[in-house]
Amino acid sequence: MYLGPAGRTGFNTVWVGDVAPKIRACLHEIGVKWSSINIARVSTGENDLSAVTLWIGVRPESLLAEDAKTAAFRCLDIFKEFDITDIDVIICEEVLWGSAAARG
C-alpha cells in the first residue's frame, strides 16, 4: 500500500478554506476525539488511480462503531456540498509516538 498526495488541482484550496473546518466541526459535534485528519491518495501501486481518501485517526477504543459510521457518512455529506463525490473516508485507530503522543 502506498500513501501519496491528493494531487487534484483546486482540491487543496477547497479543503483548507471550506471543507476542513466543517469536517472538524462535524467530528466535534459527534464527539469524535480525533488525533489526526489527513487527505491522501491510498493506492496499491505507483500507477493506481484510486480515490482520494480522508483519513481520520482516533485513539484505540475511543470510538464506538456506530459513531464511526455516523461520522464517516456525515463527512461524505460535507464533501457532497462541494460536489466532491469521488472520495473515501477511513476512520482508523492509531497510536501516536514521540511529541505527537504528548499533545493528546
For residue 3, what pLDDT is reported?
66
Give dist(CA 76, CA 48) in Å, integer.
22
One digit per residue, the tens of pLDDT, for the chain of length 104 reads 666 667 665 677 788 889 999 999 999 999 999 999 988 877 776 666 677 889 999 988 899 999 999 999 999 999 999 988 888 999 999 887 766 555 55
Global pTM? 0.80
Q: Domain count of the chain?
A: 1
Helix (H, G, I), strand (E, B) or coil at 91: strand
For residue 15, what pLDDT is reported?
84
For residue 95, what pLDDT is reported?
85
CATH number reported for the structural domain that contains residue 30 in this entry: 3.30.300
Its domain, for residue 49, covers 2-103
For residue 12, what pLDDT is reported?
73
The terminus-to-terminus CA distance of the chain in angstroms comes to 27
Q: Cβ neighbours of residue 26 under 8 Å, at least 6 residues apart? A: 71, 74, 75, 78
For residue 78, what pLDDT is reported?
96
Give dist(CA 72, CA 81) in Å, integer.
15
